[in-house]
Amino acid sequence: MSAPRSHRKPVAEQGRGLRKGRPASLTVDCFLQTEKCLYVVTEPVTPLDAYLKGKVDSGGLNELEISWGLHQIVKALSFLVNDCSLIHNNVCTAAVFVDRAGEWKLGGLDYMYSAQGDGAVPRKGIPELDRYDPPEKTDSSKTAGEKWSADMWRVGCLIWEVFNGSLPRSTSLRSFGKVRAWFFPSPLTEETLAPLSE
C-alpha cells in the first residue's frame, strides 16, 4: 500500500499512533519511506471485497459474521474519533480487510485528518472516492453534522456494499437492494411489529 507523495507525512505521523493493540484496526508492523512513496507493512490480511466474493462462492456469509464485522468497523471508528480525535474519511470496502481469524479490520488511513479542525482535510486523489461523501459535502444548502457524521454516512455506504457489491454512484443508495431483505426479512405488519412494542 502506498500513499501519494502529498499524503506521506500526515499518514506517517498519524499512523504511528495506530500500531498494535488498537480495536479492530489493521495492525501496522512498520513503515518504509522513500523519495517517492510511503510503504506500510501490515499483518497478513485479505481485502474485504475478495473475502466477500470468496464467501459467496463457497456458500455465503451468515448474519452473525456480517453483524460482528460491521460492529468491529464501528468500534474502530469510535476509537479513532473519541480516543484519537481523528476522522477516517475513507470508509468503504476498499478500506476494510479481514485477517486469518475472520476479524474485520479498518485500514485505508490515507485520507485521515484531525477532528479538532487544526489542519486541512486531505484532498482525495482518486475521484471515485467522492461517491462515498455525504450530501452536505457537495450541497452547500445542507448543514454539516457532528465531526463524525461523514464517517457514519460512509459506514452506511459500507453496509450497502457488503450486501450489493461495489457502490457505482451515490444515487444508488436510494435503493436498498439486498440490504432490506437482511434487516427486514418479512413484511412489516402489525403482527411482526407487535413483539417490538411489548
pLDDT values of the chain reduced to their tens digit, one per residue, 198 residues = 444 444 444 444 554 455 445 677 777 788 888 999 888 888 899 999 999 999 888 877 788 889 899 999 999 999 998 988 899 999 999 999 999 999 999 998 888 888 887 777 787 777 788 888 887 777 666 666 777 888 998 999 999 899 888 888 787 777 777 776 666 655 656 665 555 555
Closest to 61 in 3D by CA, of 27, 104, 25, 14: 104
148 contacts 81 by C-beta, under 8 angstroms: yes
Q: What is the pLDDT of residue 6?
A: 46
Neighbouring CB atoms inside 10 A of 86's CB total: 22
Q: What is the pLDDT of residue 184?
A: 61
Q: What is the pLDDT of residues 77-120, one digit of tens each?
A: 999 989 888 999 999 999 999 999 999 999 988 888 888 877 77
Closest to 87 in 3D by CA, of 19, 170, 152, 17: 152
pTM exceeding 0.85: no
For 182-194, b/e burial (b = at least 16 CB within 10 A) is eeeeeeeeeeeee
Residues above pLDDT 90, as percent of the chain: 25
Neighbouring CB atoms inside 10 A of 154's CB total: 22
Residue type, position 191, single letter: E
49 contacts 166 by C-beta, under 8 angstroms: yes
108 contacts 90 by C-beta, under 8 angstroms: yes
Q: What is the pLDDT of residue 51?
A: 94
- In 3-state terms, what secondary structure has residue 28? strand
Vertex 73: Cα angle to 55 and 4 (nearest 5)? 95
| Structural domains in the chain plus CATH codes | 44-189 (1.10.510.10)
Interatomic CA distance for residues 80 and 95, integer angstroms: 14
